[in-house]
Amino acid sequence: MAIRDPPADETESAPDAAPDAVAGLAERNAELRDDKRKSAAEVKALREEVRSMTKEIQRLTVELEKVKHPPLIVGSVLDLLVDGRAVIKSTTGPNFVVPVADFVNRDKLVPGTRVSLSQSNLTVVGILPPSRDPHVSGMEVIKKPDVTYAQVGGLERAIQELRETVEYPLTKPEVFTKLGINPPKGVLLRGLPGTGKTMLAKAVANATNATFIRLVASELVQKFIGEGSRKVHDLFQLARDKAPSIIFIDEIDAVGARRTDDGTTSNREVERTLMQLLAELDGFESRGDVRIMAATNRADILDPALLRPGRFDRIVDVPLPSPEGVAEIFRIHTKGMTLDKDVELASLTGKLKAVSGADVAAICTEAGMRAVRAERATITQADLAAGIQKYQKGELHTGHGSPAGIYA
């Protein structure tokens, strides 16, 4: 049987169809690759989301367990028994003999330790940090004061005494050890209001890397019996924990006034606070890392027990500045002010007598307010002269005047 050849037009079209089919397959292959890449990216994103959701579930589970966990009772250890149990006093009232959980470090359990107790059987399940008055913790100045010695004018002698008695024992303790001497334990700054006592304390804190703990003595006076003494104890304990540190008690005459026999309950509580302060001062080493400073403008009424050796045994007088000191204070206060070019500070200082640093600051502020009132961009000589005149009339007086024999 004879084989018939295909038509001529079919033979010619076959080679043309093959490239088109290959091109279509290549295009389809590229589309499938793109779909695969997109699917892989989506799978990766979903896996990350699953991982994130798993972490969130774990976090919420922990938070839920915290909410479901019953609260613990706070107690304090009174005694430790030889069989491993502890005698504790709980906040509920009575004393209990309770077991101690195995995971609690028994070496840290001493009488007076605060512990947490299980509600079910009062088992000791944790050790808590010591209790501290939140007001005392708030007295700590975390940020170092920005006042430097250069900003305290006219008090070179007081600055030198403070550096020797407060700064050097903290920064150069080896000098005192080598010489075999003990620096003063406490330093009392006495002077009229506005003379720069608080600024001196801030400058000392700035010059050292010590923790600066500042309070006003009236904060130690409390309503209930024993509260003031406890606050004093917590204050000095904070200073020990944060050593090296500087305690600065401003207006110490609020609790350190001379004791009397008037018999009132309020006065007895102040005296208890004073006695606790005296006991804490006696408990410090003069070469230790805690320095104590105080300030007052009524040194004449302080109790003699505060000023005996071993307590506030160094008194630093902060007097009114000399004329040269007044000029220096004027330069310090006007350093950041926009003064007119015709201002001559030297001619102003001769008009002032018995002026404090606070008075000079008030005069400079009044001069600036006059410039604001006149809508001027600079402060003129007339503004400063007007401020001095207003001070001399008593309108800017800070009340530093006092009887001549106040410190006699």
In a domain, 218, yes or no: yes
Do 192 and 307 reside in the same domain of the chain?
yes
Do 369 and 266 reside in the same domain of the chain?
no
C-alpha neighbours within 13 Å on the C-beta side of residue 53: 6
Query: Is there a contact between 222 and 190 (Cβ–Cβ < 8 Å)?
Result: no
Do 149 and 236 reside in the same domain of the chain?
yes
Do 254 and 388 reside in the same domain of the chain?
no
Do 162 and 121 reside in the same domain of the chain?
no
SS3 of residue 80 by DSSP: strand
Alpha-helical segments (H) within 133-283: 134-137, 156-162, 168-171, 173-179, 197-207, 227-241, 253-256, 265-282
CA dist 277 to 237, 299, 386, Å? 12, 17, 47
Do 167 and 84 reside in the same domain of the chain?
no
Q: Total structural domains in the chain? A: 3
Q: Which helix (H) or strand (E) holds 105?
A: none
Nearest partner of 230 among 307, 131, 316, 306, judged by Cα: 131
What is the DSSP annotation of 120-147? TT--EEEEPPPP--HHHHTTEE-SPP--
SS3 of residue 44 by DSSP: helix
User: Would you say residue 404 has pLDDT above 50?
Assistant: no
Do 367 and 308 reside in the same domain of the chain?
no
CA dist 193 to 131, 329, 356, Å? 37, 16, 8
Q: Which residues of 240-275 are buried (b: 16+ CB within 10 A; e: fewer)?
A: eebebbbbbbbbbbbbbbeeeeeeeeeeebbbbbbe
Mean pLDDT for 15-26 is 74
For residues 126 and 132, give the distance between their C-alpha atoms in angstroms, rounded to a whole number.
18
Domain containing residue 242: 136-317
Last residue of a domain, one of 64, 95, 127: 127
User: Would you say residue 93 has pLDDT above 80?
Assistant: no
In a domain, 407, yes or no: no
In a domain, 193, yes or no: yes
Do 216 and 112 reside in the same domain of the chain?
no
In a domain, 19, yes or no: no
SS3 of residue 200 by DSSP: helix
Q: What's the DSSP call for residue 219?
A: G
The DSSP bridge partners found for residue 299 are: none
In a domain, 85, yes or no: yes
User: Would you say residue 61 has pLDDT above 50?
Assistant: yes
Do 184 and 98 reside in the same domain of the chain?
no
What is the DSSP annotation of 307-364? HSTTSS-EEEE--PPPHHHHHHHHHHHHTTS-B-TT--THHHHTT--S--HHHHHHHH
Q: What's the DSSP call for residue 78?
A: E
Last residue of a domain, one of 270, 302, 317: 317
Q: Between residues 348 and 187, which one has the greater pLDDT?
A: 187
Do 177 and 163 reside in the same domain of the chain?
yes
pLDDT tens per residue across span 179-224: 888 887 788 898 888 888 888 888 888 888 788 888 888 888 777 7
The DSSP bridge partners found for residue 189 are: 295, 316
Pairing of strands 114-117, 124-127: antiparallel
135 φ/ψ angles, rounded to the nearest 5 degrees: -65, -35
Last residue of a domain, one of 317, 351, 380: 317
Do 370 and 305 reside in the same domain of the chain?
no
In a domain, 340, yes or no: yes
In a domain, 68, yes or no: no
User: Would you say residue 384 has pLDDT above 70?
Assistant: yes
pLDDT in the model for residue 236: 85
Would you tell me how many other CB atoms lie within 10 Å of the CB of residue 112?
8
For residues 225 and 227, give the distance between their C-alpha atoms in angstroms, rounded to a whole number.
6
pLDDT tens per residue across span 279-305: 888 776 655 688 888 998 888 888 888
Tell me the CATH number at 290. 3.40.50.300
Token digits for 273? Answer: 């606070």
Tell me the CATH number at 104. 2.40.50.140
Tell me the CATH number at 375. 1.10.8.60
Do 117 and 151 reside in the same domain of the chain?
no
pLDDT tens per residue across span 96-141: 899 998 888 888 888 888 998 888 888 888 888 877 666 665 565 6
In a domain, 245, yes or no: yes
